Structure 1
């Protein structure tokens, strides 16, 4: 298969230049100049290889090779074009350029597909500029609520709607897509499993469920020198108890459960005052809904018990509760068979991170392919994958799209 090493390296470098930073990172936020430039440049590239291109109302970009026999049955691939602040050169955009190279190859070698091949460059997934995620994929299916974004602003005080209109887009007036018969997303793993096991490809069976919390412990700030240990209502000590007990329980449950205390803000956060308040976050993930529910309910009860024992108040706000999302069993089996047939070095695995595929999967048959992340690093200028692994991932995607779009 003529997916050339140099072509992959060149197109990754090209798209990374939109929002490229001096440190090698990329910042390309929703409805920014860099974002709009990237979408318009992608549109031009799609047009140049013969695709019919268009934007939807909110700025998702599409390129199509229309099917000869089943033109109303769409085989779609792609990902999101936005990045995090100071992010890497592969997260999201690999799925776009990988699908572009795969579809260009298929059209050149086999001509018009039986089913329509459609590439999507989704407007947003990360939530890095505005506090809203999956804006692109949710609008594909009419799931986004305009009231959720009408009044939100970015860090510079720019309103979401103003930013959207400045790029020439508006709230969605189009009907939810019902013609998509399959969606396949190529992505970097954003973890270290494939690299450690020396595999070039991961065939994803499911995306983990997530529960995220903002938690506040309220004790009493007091003098560090004159307040005896037995009289203290120390919020940091309470947090340390919660963190220690919770992490130990997560380790005992074992993989694939993961538990993270990611942000901790003690107050007043000075050297000579017993901290009277701690704000912290908790993130828990697992592939089984029953496990994540029972585990987090136990941890919530533990936190309340510890706070009560130490004479503190606690406020627990579970602001995210996303269920695990299985990939389509038939598509996953097809990916596995294609990897075996092509003698590609792969393994079956789950995704510990969220992706646009979790919005697609409950609505259309969906599958995911991973390629390794060197040292497991992502959302970082050091985000990297060996070019030979990128080529292998695009090959696997190409085989899958051939089966779905060119075979009866």
Structure 2
């Protein structure tokens, strides 16, 4: 972030109580405070205190609004940079706009272990989706330094930019963002291209932010579950076996706008009728096969959207997800076929455009074992489960082993102002992350 912007948006955090700075520590300055077999513990009160203060940034009557590149997002990033500094981490903003801090390891030949998440939000969202994993990663790095534990691998703490708008920061890092993507408009009204410059990145130097296979030892991400499986099973930790593939379509249905009173029913080309039939057909197709696949028609824009005019055009979105790529491809073809059939029956045309396409990501078995070993050593109940939501870990999986840790969401609620995870669960998740990183450091050497 540019210095002027940082100072401008630091007002949101200036009045907050400052953290005591982390005392400097030099490798080899003293013995480890804990044996390798003793589970390590973060300072849970500190971590949850950060989250409580962060809740003030972007809070509106409708919920948290820290959408990417907005004033609240800039203030949230300023708060996060302050946490890095107070935790003894030297952060930088890379060309993509991601915030990164690196702790050197004892073996300079090894690639880094990454951990992190994001701090931007959806419109009218909650305070836990993203910040839990971002602040826990900062807390883990701080705890390791306080406990005088230096890993063999370098350790990097990353806060990805604009996760909610399509995992933009991590896509740039792995080389999956196109020039066309840069001109897409975020919920703040700014294009991705504009936003990158606003948060301190540089579109002209995006290649400098690229990582390739072999550059990263592994990636861990702690996150709230965004579902109710853990709560229902009364488990404390979710061990994410994979992240579903995500494919978003924008479907444009074109009919003919005409007078609602003067046009006979059998002479209409009603785009809204076609959209309604298609919505039902998508639901029935998904439910007609066994499996965990899901699809949602989530946004509908009608033109001219007038009481006494037959809709001439409808633009709707379809969100399709599954852990199996073949299932996603098959349902993509099925939806397009349904569009052709419904279009012929209603005298309308369907045009499909893919706007987001993320492939499923399967977690690395060694990292899953590290998470399970850590949870067990802490006496925490756990279970394996898929992630039905997309995450930055899904993009990192293109170039490096990854795994995710889930903590329960009360009521299974997320992307809502009612989103909430208990402080004890957040602390548990951070403790699992801490010990999993230490375990993976040894296992991957």
TM over 0.5: yes
- Which of residues 395, 401, 422 is equivalent to 1:359? 395
- Which of residues 98, 101, 108 is equivalent to 1:60? 98
**In the TM superposition, what are the counterparts of 1:384-399 in structure 2 within 5 Å?**
384-399=420-435
Name 2:326's counterpart in structure 1: 290
How far does the alpha carbon of each residue in 1:177-208 deviate from its partner, in whole angstroms, 9 at most, with x for none? 35320110001122222222222221111111
Change (3 A) 1:147 1:239: closer
- Is residue 114 from structure 1 mapped to residue 152 from structure 2 by the alignment? yes
Aligned length: 401
- Partner Cα distance (2:179, 2:150) in 1: 38
TM-score (norm: length of structure 1): 0.88
How far does the alpha carbon of each residue in 1:78-127 deviate from its partner, in whole angstroms, 9 at most, with x for none? 11122223321111111111112222222222432222222112222122
Name 2:128's counterpart in structure 1: 90
SS in 1 for 2:111: strand
- Which of residues 162, 167, 188 is equivalent to 1:134? 167
SS in 1 for 2:406: strand
Change (3 A) 1:261 1:146: closer
Name 1:256's counterpart in structure 2: 292
How far does the alpha carbon of each residue in 1:322-349 deviate from its partner, in whole angstroms, 9 at most, with x for none? 3212121221232223323333121111
- Partner Cα distance (2:163, 2:208) in 1: 20
Q: C-alpha displacement at 1:391, in angstroms? A: 1.4
Alignment RMSD (CA, Å): 2.7
CA contact under 8 A between 1:49 and 1:104: conserved in structure 2?
yes
- Which of residues 1, 9, 13 is equivalent to 2:52? 13
- Partner Cα distance (1:124, 1:298) in 2: 31
How far does the alpha carbon of each residue in 1:202-257 deviate from its partner, in whole angstroms, 9 at most, with x for none? 11111111222222223333443444433333333222222223212211213311
TM-score (norm: length of structure 2): 0.81
Query: Which consecutive residues of structure 2, in runs of 5 or more, have no partner in the other structure?
Result: 1-39
- Is residue 185 from structure 1 mapped to residue 218 from structure 2 by the alignment? no
- Partner Cα distance (2:69, 2:256) in 1: 44
Query: Which consecutive residues of structure 1, in runs of 5 or more, have no partner in the other structure?
Result: 128-132
- Partner Cα distance (1:147, 1:277) in 2: 25
Name 2:244's counterpart in structure 1: 208
SS in 2 for 1:253: coil
Which range moved further: 3-12 or 252-261? Answer: 3-12
Name 2:141's counterpart in structure 1: 103
- Partner Cα distance (1:97, 1:90) in 2: 10
Change (3 A) 1:263 1:34: closer
